[in-house]
Chains A and B, each alone.
Chain A
Amino acid sequence: MSSQMLVVNGIAFVAIFSALMVVFHRNPMMSVVFLIVNLICIALFFLLLQAQFLFAIQIIIYAGAIMVLFVFVVMLLNLRQEEKLHPTWKIQRILAFLGGPLLVGALWTALWHRSPSSEGFPGSFVSGFGSTEDMGRLLFSDYLFQFEAASVLLVVAMIGAVILARRKES
């Protein structure tokens, strides 16, 4: 095994282990911490693919901003009591048994029909993959409509949050 594969497999192992721990750990705060570890692992994969911009953004947005809110909520709600809870809702279990194979199937087809250019390792990608310039160009040309639509959606959500949080004047 080359040293490169050793690094990839090491990160993959940590990623899968932490993903499992998110689900299986009894303490909600530990689940959040493992989710952070998992997101950092994904960021490291971006780094291995030479996509330094995506690496930094993945850490800032997902592992940073979003997960801080998770930590915030767990801290405020103090979910300790939930440790004893075992979800016994029937409907959830049935849906899980239906959804699981569906997800595996989707992943399997995605892996099976991968484009030949993504085989192998760094260097085989088009140069500039995931770079700042490349991302910017894509967002303001090919995906302009989707980008602007997402912005509008975010503005609407922000206004909604402000209205919900506003103090009632009586």
Chain B
Amino acid sequence: MEPSTLSLAIESLVKVVFVVGLVMGGVTYMTWVERRVAGIVQDRLGPNRVGPAGLLQPIADGIKFLFKEDVVPPHVYKPLYILAPALSFVPSLVGTAVIPFGDSLHLFGRDIALRVADLNVGILFIFAMSAMGVYGIALAGWSSNNKYSLMGGLRSSAQLISYELAMGLSVVGVLMAAGSLRLNEIVAAQGEFRWNLWYQPLGALVFLVAAFAETNRAPFDLPECESELVAGYHTEYSSMKFAMFMMAEYANMITASALMVTLFFGGWQVPGLARLSLPPLAVSLVQVAAFLLKTGFFLFLYVWVRWTLPRFRFDQLMGLGWKALLPLAVLNIFWTSWAILSGWL
């Protein structure tokens, strides 16, 4: 049966709402997870008063952000100052569109591919969106007309350019193994057991470290390093504009975690699931759940690392990116080429 345009439109709409809802829900509750885990790590409780176990805290925070006074300092360059938070937030949200969160769902007599957009250059699309996200931070730093903001913006653009290289090169091995830029084919090529992690642990490590730097997270959060730069690029921002930078950071974390799972941890694949001979609907749902669980693990790792490791110095950060991660990523490419040529992969 040929699906009609209307049913396709409804299908796309449902998927868009699902993914955006998932990401926004994730962003909201990551703030809670972050604060509770920080509490546990530092041997205190964290926010536990609003609702059961503090679960309504993000909503209270959201309301606070919405109703706070939105201060626009007189010395800022207004057009870019107002545009910057949106420039930072929109790409982080758009990037999630190509992530496959499951294989396909057989429902109402047809197969529904579980991803919003099936671009044949999916991985490059995510890199493109992350490259666009830099402008939000850089322009926020510049338009604030404040030396701390400017330093934050400069650091951010330098850091993102440097680590983008290492990140891009660490992915090349995966692309060679899968022979495709389409994310779903990369997942399918890994199968239930042959995850890229086992064959390219070096690539996975480089990607993981670069992902921390790309999302401006500790120990690489130099752009907002409070001990030197007050709050870096968002020093002059308040209210919902500030919240948008925070939301962009968490949305980027979700994209990076999902990408890590997709590229190296078998995406939605569950080892041994095919042997169980479950009904197709159950298989699809288990796969989606597995994908979300794996992504959740990396999100937890982000928080864990932030409250465990001290911050790098800026020259150390650059040294690590150029002198350690870049050569290691190239080494991974050589290793993968050799493995493919000798018939290992």
Question: Residues of A at under 8 Å CB distance from B?
Answer: 27, 29-30, 33, 36, 52-53, 55-57, 59-60, 63-65, 67-69, 71-72, 74-76, 131-132
Contact = CB atoms under 8 A, between A and B. Distances in A.
A132 B121 contact: yes
Nearest to A57: B124
Given A30-B80, A36-B135, A56-B128, A75 B150 contact: yes
Given A36-B135, A60-B127, A132 B161 contact: no
B121 A76 contact: no
Contacts of A69: 161
B213 interface: no
Contact of A29 (B80, B132, B164): B80
B270 to A, nearest CB: 29
A131 to B, nearest CB: 7
A65 B153 CA distance: 15
Interface stretch (B67-75, B136-144, B252-260): B136-144
9 contacts: A29-B143, A56-B121, A59-B132, A64-B132, A67-B135, A68-B135, A72-B158, A75-B142, A76-B154
B128 A64 contact: yes
B176 interface: no
Interface in B105-147: 119-121, 124-125, 127-128, 131-132, 134-135, 138-139, 141-143
A68 B157 contact: yes
A91 to B, nearest CB: 33
A71 B142 CA distance: 9
Contact of A60 (B77, B119, B124, B181): B124
Contacts of A33: 80, 135, 139
B79 interface: yes
Contacts of A76: 154
A71 B139 contact: yes
A67 B141 CA distance: 16
Nearest to A64: B131
A63 B121 CA distance: 17
Interface in B229-268: none
Contact of A71 (B121, B132, B157): B157
Interface residues of B, number: 28
Q: At the interface, is chain B mostly helix, strand, loop or mixed?
A: helix
B131 A72 contact: no
A30 B124 CA distance: 27
Contacts of A29: 77, 80, 139, 142-143
A60 B121 contact: no
A30 B131 contact: no
Given A60-B128, A63-B132, A64-B131, A55 B79 contact: no
Contacts of A57: 124
Nearest to A72: B157
Nearest to A50: B120
Given A75-B142, A75-B154, A131 B135 contact: no
Nearest to A61: B131
A72 B141 CA distance: 11
Contacts of B333: none
Nearest to A69: B161
A65 B120 contact: no
Contacts of B128: 56, 59-60, 63-64
B160 A68 contact: yes
B139 A131 contact: no
A64 to B, nearest CB: 3
A146 B134 CA distance: 32
B255 to A, nearest CB: 16
A55 B121 contact: yes
A57 B121 CA distance: 10
Contacts of B121: 52-53, 55-56, 132
A30 B157 contact: no
